[in-house]
Each structure stands twice: as structure tokens, then as C-alpha cells.
Amino acid sequence: SGAPPKPAELLTADDVFVSVKTTSKYHRGRLELLLDTWIANDLQHVSAHLINTNCSAAHSRQALSCKMAAEYDAFLDADRKWFCHVDDDNYLNMGALLRLLSQYSHTQDVYIGRPSLEHPLEATETGRSSGPERVVFWFATGGAGFCLSRGLAIKMGPWARDGAFLSTAERIRLPDDRAVGYIVGAMLGVGLTRSPLFHSHLESLALLTRVHEQVPQTRSFSKLIENHHLFKCVHCVLHPHTPWCQR
């Protein structure tokens, strides 16, 4: 309660590089829904691109890290202040995201998202001449969306840029979102800023009660029809002037 936090930096949608991870088998079922809802609304002036990563279509650790590496490299090549990753079953509330990121400075080290565990992750680093080593760090769950400031993303370069991300993820034998946490927390010593505004499908629909404030909302697409209704409903609450929202 009280006054909203003072923005550190006023942001617009074109200050944020949003990458949506997808795969061909979900282009119809998932991506089309996003293109009809939040992408149509929030990225229309900014231009949305589809990047074919040539990563394997398998749901393997390597394939998913290959996609994260492509998302990260594309961000560094773009002239944007913030990098935000979401899955293709996320509804992104751009207004809420901009209000959240405005409270931080993109030149500082900011890693913001929702931890999926109540404790930091412990992992074993391999490939060191001194032998395997235990490392402990927090990570933001990729399925709920997370953001990195440009300042921090640049510092991640030695472990992430131009193919390094894949070998880093292999050294720790962890999936893509955990590998991001490893670089940020264990290599750079930067903490995770927790935000309750990021949601994954692991949570209940109770989040819908404060829909204007929430950032990405995910639902498992096992029930495709429900998701269509849910995302279109969320979209019409946030953007009531959309033509197909008027009954």
C-alpha cells in the first residue's frame, strides 16, 4: 500500500527485448494465441521477429540451452535495455512489466523473476583442474518468465556469448534457466531479485484476481481450450477496446 515506488527510469515497450521460446509443434496451438493477444497489442509498433535457431526440436537439455543461447545473443545484438524471456504458454502483461522494470536501472546488475524452489540450487561444477566443486545459487524459473538488465547481460558474456552458454550449461549439466542462474549467481555473485508478479502454471488461477498487476501468466497447455478462454479473457480485461472483446 501507499504510493507506488518512484521509477528510476521511464521505459517504453521498445526498451525491452522480449523473447518467446517456441517450437514448431506449438506454432498453431500456442503461438497463434499469443500473436492474437498480447503480441498483437504490445509488439505491434516494435516489430516482432521470428528467429529460426536451427536448434534441435527435441525437448532435451542441450536443445533448450541452444535456444536460450540464441535468445541471449539476439538481445546483445539488439539495442534494448532489458532482456525478458518467456515461454510460449505465457501471457505477458507489458504494462505491468514496464512498471516493474522502471523501478530499476538497466545499467545496474538486475536479474528478476520467480524462484521455483524455496532454497538455492546446489550443483556440481565439472571440468575444473582442481576437481568437481559444489556451487550454490538461486535461479528464476524460466516458465514464469525472467528479465536481465543490459548491464548484467554484458557481464555474463564470457560464460554466455557466442556459444559459451552451451558449454557452461554442459559443465554444470543443468537446463537453460538454471544455467542462467549459475552464471549470474555463482560466476558473477549477483543475487536474484524476487518478484511475485511473475507466474508459472505451477500456481493456481487465484492470480487472476489482480490481473492488472501481474506480469506473465502461464497455464499448462494440456487443456488447450481452457487456455484459449483464459488468455482471451485476460486480454479483454487488460485491453477492453480490442475489437473482438466487445460483445
Residues labelled catalytic: 177
Angle at 154 between CA 56 and CA 124, to 5 degrees: 60
CB of 245 vs ligand UDP, minimal distance in Å: 26
Binding at 23: pick from ligand UDP, Mn ion, none (beta carbon under 5-8 Å per type): ligand UDP
Q: 133-137 and 121-125: which strand pairing?
A: antiparallel
Count CA within 13 A, CB hemisphere, residue 195: 25
Smallest separation (angstroms) from ligand UDP to the CB of 64: 6
Smaller CB distance to ligand UDP: residue 21 or 114? 21
Footprint of ligand UDP on this chain (CB under 6 A)? Answer: 21-23, 26, 57-59, 67, 87-89, 143
What's the min distance (Å) between Cβ of 49 and Mn ion?
22
Cβ atoms within 10 A of the Cβ of 140, count?
27
**C-alpha span between 229 and 246 (Å, rounded):** 15
- Whose Cβ is closer to ligand UDP: residue 29's or residue 151's? 29
Strand partners, 83: 17, 148
Smallest separation, CB 145 to Mn ion (Å): 11
Sequence-distant (6+) residues with CB within 8 A of 199 are 114, 144, 207, 214, 215, 216, 217, 218
Closest by CA position to 39, among listed 61, 56, 22? 22
- 100's enclosing H/E stretch is helix 94-101
Residue nearest to ligand UDP (CB): 87
Q: Which residues here bind Mn ion, judged by CB under 5 A?
A: 89, 143
